[in-house]
Chain A
Amino acid sequence: MICAEPMPAVVRLGGEMADIDVKDLVKRYGDVVAVDGLSFSVQKGEVFGMLGPNGAGKTTTLEIIEGLRVPDAGTVQVLGTDVLAHPGTVKERIGVQLQATALPDFTKVREAIELFAALYRHARPTAELLAEFNLEEKADAYTDKLSGGQMQRLSIALALINDPDLVFLDEPTTGLDPQARLNIWTVIEGIRKRGKTVVLTTHYMEEAERLCDRVAVIDRGRIVALDSPRNLIAANAAGTTLEFARVPGLDVEALRKLPGVDRVVADGQVSLTTRTPEVVLHALLDPQAPWAGREGTGGDGEEEGMIRDLVVRHGTLEDVFLSLTGRSLRE
């Protein structure tokens, strides 16, 4: 996993002020409670993910933090400033990418960048942004003629136009093809490398697992879990499944007794569930084990071992969401 280690608890509790500090946030739309008492903080330099299905309250929460909506209750400090009291100060220092495309019609890429540059006190040069986001060839194209990936790159370029310390990305890869998604992931990793704090929402668990230092799992306006993706999976998912072919002569009972193995299902193939995949894999691949291949003495080199067609399936945040809420992430 490319993700960094989880943030040490010391930083979370320690002296440095968090980039975002949300306390007891509530937002209602009529009878519907969109955000139901959220509290969390985001540390400087971390990539913080908000994972949840549509309608979980991710976007509403984000928009309150960005100063676009006023909550019914709760406080929000962003970069040490009270957003509700001084939205303008906060907006000058943050970068925002909204979920929808959100660019004016009949505007070219270069013009869009110049337009947004005029809306901030400090703006990065247009040429620099075009180069950085690989949009130079598209500079004179209308924004509605861009592909999904190009549009998203432009949208992120606009979020970085004021060189913000804190960047919000609302579902940055929703609707993109896998190639474009990978491309955007690289872009986000680049933002992180420059020491910026990133808050993103997603309902793709692979995205959260790959990009995020910490993930808040949100369901019906509440945080149901908040930790690093790895810890979340370890604590909540069924674990890792190792699957391989059931070769005649393979001692299934011996496999069942291996340390760390929680469950073995043997039919056409063998499925082995574990929370400590490294330990179990080590045992499976041990050259001294009864199922290991032997160094051949004849001309045919090597005798094949009995663990064949091995597949490793990791537990995912999808499993975490399912086990925390009893519902699927994309229902």
Chain B
Amino acid sequence: MTTFGAFRALALNRVRASVRDRTSLIFTLGLAVLFMVIFGLLFGGNGVSLTLDAVNNDNTAPSAGYVTALRNVPGVTVDVKTHATAFADLKDDSVVAVLVIPSGFGAAYDGRGPSQTVGIYQAGGSSSSTAIADDVVANVTARFASGLGHSTITLDSPKAAAVNQVTEMDYMLPSMIAYILLFSGVNYVAIGLVEMRVKQVLRRFRATPVRSGTILAAQVVGGALIVLLQILVLVLIGIWAFGARNYGSWLLLIPPIVLGTAAFVGIGFLITSIAKTSEAARALAAMVTFPLMFLSGIFFPMTGLPEVVQVISRILPLAWASDALHQVMNNGAGFSAISTDCLVMAAWAVGAITLATWRFRWD
């Protein structure tokens, strides 16, 4: 026996057992594929056509250029309307979003006035096409002006942005990767490890000469390998069966997926230090995963959520994971665009795993 040999045997046993555990697979990989099927049926998988209304309170050359830049995106239609008509359109669902260009946009663009924010308004109960609209607008805006917000902004000269024509499937694939990161990452380790403790499997392993740390690490790494395996299968299914595309670099997907896995496995591991029974572990895991799933922009954009919820979502790691995956796969973003996302996930991974290791109980 070597420590690595023991580690490998334990981790692989964990992965093999999970692959055989069909029930759990249905709730993770199975549901992710099902969501893609449902969204595929609903939206046909064609290129989206987005219709937006813009309310231009500025009426300068830069704001007109901004609208043109949006119009240049394939599949995007932008009509300039008055405030009242635009919001009436939004109310009867004839547009997915309304943009409000503030007066002073041109001044900010020319560097003569304070920074400005373009408002984006969406109808409630929106689908993922509003999320795509969000992405498109954010992308164009980012290219048009590097950065919005209340910091001093510098604006590029207006130019047409080459935004990818993102389909529902293209959008769903990174969403479902995030879903698996969340559900598999948290559940496999949280429930698996607590069950092994309750059923004395961990104790039986500890009766062998293998160090406790090796046993624990093998279980956590085994859980991470299950997540990665499921994501691999999901991506292959997404590409071959649903025609989803990745507009970015495959290599750049590795940091968010690996760090996201580490973060959510870490959260699952943390649950094992709180939960005494496998029922408690299941309940805690559900309390973490379900709200996160709906509050982190996987299925519909966070912009429609109340301020407080948005703040909470921005503290939790799923929104960051989702953002990084969409940035790379839908917008073809480079590493600089996802570096903050990666940093937040890394912080969660290190924090959760450290705390969980410290608080872990063998009995």
Q: A residues within 8 Å of B by Cβ?
A: 66-68, 88-89, 91-92, 96, 98-107, 111, 114-116, 118-121, 123
Taking CB as reference atom, which chain B residue is nearest A94?
A: B207
Q: Is the CB of B1 within 8 A of A121?
A: yes
Q: Could you give, for residues 1-38 of chain B, a 1 whenever the CB lies within 8 Å of some chain A CB and a 0 otherwise? A: 10001101110011011101100000000000000000
Given contacts A98-B207, A105-B195, contact A115 B200 (CB under 8 A): no
B 190-218 binary contact with A (CB < 8 Å = 1; else 0): 00000110011101111111110000000
8 Å CB contact of A68 from B195, B199, B207: B207
With A96-B207, A111-B13 already in contact, the answer to whether A118 and B201 are too (CB < 8 A) is: no
Least CB distance, B166 to chain A, in whole angstroms: 39
CB contact between A119 and one of B6, B14, B17, B200 (< 8 Å): that residue: B6
Contacts A98-B204, A104-B14, A104-B17; is A119 near B210 (CB within 8 Å)?
A: yes
Q: Given A102-B199, A105-B21, are A118 and B204 neighbors across the interface (CB < 8 Å)?
A: no
Q: With CB as the reference atom, state the residue of chain B lying closest to A123.
A: B1
CA distance A121 to B1 in the complex (A): 4
Contact A101 B199 (CB under 8 A): yes
**Within 8 Å CB of A123, what residues of B?**
1
From known contacts A68-B203, A119-B6, infer whether A88 and B211 are also in contact, taking CB-CB under 8 Å: yes
Are A106 and B199 closer than 8 Å at their CB atoms?
A: no
Q: A106-B17, A106-B21, A121-B1 are in contact. Are A98 and B200 (CB under 8 A)?
A: yes
CB-nearest residue of chain B relative to A29?
A: B363
Assuming the A-B contacts A111-B13, A118-B6, A121-B1, are A103 and B204 also in contact, with contact meaning beta carbons closer than 8 angstroms in the complex? yes
Cβ contact within 8 Å between B211 and A119: no
Which B residues contact A (CB, under 8 angstroms)? 1, 5-6, 8-10, 13-14, 16-18, 20-21, 195-196, 199-201, 203-211
**Known interface pairs A89-B209, A106-B16, A119-B6; 7 further A-B residue pairs with C-beta atoms within 8 A, sorted by A's residue number:** A68-B203, A96-B207, A102-B200, A104-B17, A106-B21, A120-B209, A121-B209
Note all chain B residues with C-beta closer than 8 A to A66. 207
Bound-state Cα–Cα, A118 to B4, Å: 10
Chain B residues with CB under 8 A of A115: 9-10, 13
Q: What is the bound-complex CA distance between A6 and B224, given in angstroms?
A: 55
Q: List 26 A-B contacts (CB under 8 A).
A: A91-B207, A91-B209, A96-B207, A98-B203, A98-B207, A102-B204, A103-B201, A104-B14, A104-B201, A105-B17, A105-B21, A106-B16, A106-B18, A107-B13, A107-B16, A111-B13, A111-B16, A115-B9, A115-B13, A118-B5, A118-B6, A118-B9, A118-B10, A119-B1, A120-B1, A120-B209
Q: What's the nearest-Cβ distance from chain B to residue A123, in Å?
A: 8
Name the residue among A67, A91, A118, A120 with the largest chain B CB count within 10 angstroms: A118
List residues of chain B with CB within 8 A of the CB of A98: 200, 203-204, 207
Q: Is the CB of B208 within 8 A of A120?
A: yes
Closest residue on chain A to residue B196 by CB atoms: A104
Q: A102 CA to B205 CA in the complex, in Å? A: 9
CA distance A107 to B192 in the complex (A): 14
A210 vs B51: C-alpha distance when bound (angstroms): 86
Q: In whole Å, how far is B361's beta carbon from the nearest beta carbon of chain A? A: 13
B20 touches A106 (CB 8 A): yes
| Cβ contact within 8 Å between A102 and B1 | no
Instruction: Please name the residue on chain B nearest to A118 by beta carbon.
Output: B9
The answer to whether B195 and A118 have CB atoms under 8 Å apart is no
User: How far apart are B22's CB and chain A's nearest CB, in angstroms?
Assistant: 10
How far apart are the CA atoms of A102 and B5 in the complex, in Å?
Answer: 21
CB distance from B151 to the nearest CB of A (A): 53
In the complex, the 8 A-B pairs of residues with the closest C-beta atoms, listed nearest first: A118-B9, A106-B17, A102-B204, A96-B207, A119-B208, A102-B200, A106-B20, A100-B200
Q: Kindly provide the distance from the CB of A171 to the nearest chain B CB, expressed in whole angstroms.
A: 13
How close is A76's CB to chain B, nearest CB, in angstroms? Answer: 15
Report the Cα distance A120→B10, complex, angstroms: 12
B290 to chain A, nearest CB (A): 25
Query: Which residues does chain A contribute within 8 Å of B14, judged by CB atoms?
Result: 104
